[in-house]
Amino acid sequence: MSDYRRASKCIIAGCNNLGHPANTTGYYPAFGGVMNNVVTFYQEPIAYGGTLRRLYIHTQLAPGAGQTVTLTVFVNGVATALTATIADAAVDAADLVNNVPIAEGQRVNVQIVTSVGSAAQPLTWGFRLD
């Protein structure tokens, strides 16, 4: 029988089911779901400690000229350095630089912030827990 604490990598991936509206800040469970405007509402506990890293985000439509969609990973209701921004004509972004330590039992969720004129649409994300 394997011991989950010996796993070398775990993927945390999700999406916002209904799309994220323009000019809005919202919070989602790390594994995806429906938006809430309270940072502590959707927080999922992590079963073992490690490091969160390698955030990728994707949207089906570019936000538009001068527009952005930013996703930030939160731990225990606090923004971390793990963040990525899709801008202008892009549909993908990544943070391959920042690493965030996390302890067993801490809670994770994500924040999405869209600019005033960005296209409302579904966003998908994924990051690693090593």
Question: In this structure, is residue 62 part of a structural domain?
Answer: yes
Tell which residue, 8, 107, 105, has the closest CA to residue 49.
105
In the predicted structure, residue 119 carries a pLDDT above the cut 80: no
Cβ contacts of 97 within 8 Å, gap of 6 or more: none
The C-alpha angle 57, 62, 67, rounded to 5 degrees, equals 95
Tell me, yes or no, whether 67 lies in a domain: yes
Question: Does 30 map to a domain?
Answer: yes
What's the confidence (pLDDT) of residue 86? 96
- The answer to whether position 96 is within a domain reads yes
Which structural domain, as residue segments, surrounds residue 106?
24-114
Q: Structurally, how many domains does the chain consist of?
A: 1
| pLDDT reported for residue 1 | 45
The answer to whether the CB of 126 falls within 8 A of the CB of 15 is no
Asked whether residue 125 is assigned to any structural domain, the reply reads no
d(CA 111, CA 129): 18
Q: Is residue 14 part of a domain?
A: no
Distance CA(126)–CA(15), nearest Å, equals: 9
Q: Is 19 inside any structural domain?
A: no
> Residue 2's pLDDT band (boundaries 50, 70, 90)?
low
Q: What is the pLDDT of residues 15-47, one digit of tens each?
A: 987 788 889 999 999 998 888 988 888 899 998
